Chain A
């Protein structure tokens, strides 16, 4: 068990640019989640996959955001035309399927918009 890994750890970009983050979940976990966390707040749910199917998206996920998990393994989160308000820590988590199974988190990608 190598844990959930996220890449990159930090991303600095200019407003208006597109960015893409990657998440590699724990290999036997079929559920994968994306969260956004701003300073001083708890993580806010963005979206969730079961295998390759995206089953739920939060209202926070505007049309500039898109997430994929094409083969049910790693996932990508893309933000197009970034805005200042997108600056945050983006966390990925994975879990086994069942409501009593905890989510295991990666160390996150910190996005800074200049």
Chain B
């Protein structure tokens, strides 16, 4: 069975400071891992994906994530938060030929001016 845990339901940072959104996963197989962002009343936009190539993955809008197998983690980071980063972020794990995915419960990021 696979599962994903987002450790913080809300994170608040000041504009210009680093962002860290935490995600731990559980999977019996080598997983594919994704981070998505969702702005209010919108669908989910892919930020980045890990698919067993480089463990440090760079995504859009300055975000990156590091796959750490020993810690079963895939935390999302950004060096400097921007007001437009305020949104909800979902960590997603998938495996298997038919690509069943499991979503985390989401982390709401608040950026304070």
Interface residues of A, Cβ cutoff 8 Å to B: 4, 6, 31, 40-45, 48, 50, 55-56, 91, 93, 95, 97-108, 110
Contact = CB atoms under 8 A, between A and B. Distances in A.
Given A98-B99, A102-B46, A108-B41, 6 more contacts: A41-B105, A97-B99, A99-B32, A105-B36, A105-B44, A107-B41
B104 A42 contact: yes
Interface stretch (B12-20, B62-70, B88-96): B88-96
A106 B32 CA distance: 21
A43 B44 contact: yes
Nearest to A44: B103
B43 A4 contact: yes
A48 B44 CA distance: 17
A5 B12 CA distance: 32
B99 A99 contact: yes
B93 to A, nearest CB: 10
Interface centre among B34, B99, B101 (most CB of A within 10 A): B99
Nearest to A104: B46
B99 A101 contact: yes
A108 B106 contact: no
Contacts of A110: 41
Contacts of B42: 107-108
Nearest to B104: A42
A45 B101 contact: yes
B69 to A, nearest CB: 16
Contact of A99 (B41, B94, B106): B94
A102 B49 contact: yes
15 contacts: A41-B105, A42-B103, A43-B103, A48-B100, A93-B44, A99-B32, A100-B32, A100-B52, A100-B94, A102-B34, A103-B99, A103-B101, A104-B46, A105-B36, A107-B41
